[in-house]
Amino acid sequence: MPRKDVLAAGQRSAQFVGGMGDGIDLHKVSDEPRMEFVPEPIAAARRKKFIPAGEVLLVKRAEAKLGNGIIELAESVEKERPAEGQVLAVSQVHKHEYQSGQYVAFGRYSGTLFVLNGEELLLLPAEDVLGYIVDEEITNGE
């Protein structure tokens, strides 16, 4: 009878090439202790940093705002992307003119989409910036 049928037929032990084996403990080939598998820790993914060159700004586009209680389709929100954003990085050429964290307005179709660390950003030429967006100062009594 072939080897695979010996244990399938209900016999508790069988003669193998390596010696005698017991039906229950066939997976134990040797008496040496097995080492537990410990996976190597995966290094945290390194975040990349973008340093603009020439006359380029790295801008994070402002989030699109939905209307007052009106349900809008995702496509219409995507078409009407805001033309403003926060400056994340400035090239050496324009350090004196723009600062990180500053909000700027630009043309609706300006710049080049750029994905960095899974985040969609905009590479914007400095000449496409139309102006700054600042909070209005409130004066009391005037």
Domain count, the chain: 2
Query: Does residue 108 fall inside a structural domain?
Result: yes
Q: What is the pLDDT of residue 103?
A: 93
The CATH number covering residue 61 comes to 2.30.33.40
Neighbouring C-beta atoms of residue 48, cutoff 10 Å: 7
Query: Which one, of 66, 99, 104, lies nearest residue 85 by Cα?
Result: 104
For residue 96, what are the CA distances in angstroms to 41, 64, 99, 100?
44, 29, 8, 11
Query: Does residue 72 fall inside a structural domain?
Result: yes
H/E element holding 3? helix 3-8
Q: What is the pLDDT of residue 1?
A: 46
**Average pLDDT along the chain, 142 residues, taken 10 residues at a time:** 56 57 54 77 83 90 67 55 88 88 90 90 91 82 56
How confident is the model over 98-119, as pLDDT tens digits? 989 999 999 888 899 989 988 8
Q: What is the pLDDT of residue 89?
A: 92
Both 21 and 60 in one domain: the answer is no
Parent domain of 69? 56-133
Cα(6)–Cα(80) distance, integer angstroms? 73
pTM of the model: 0.56
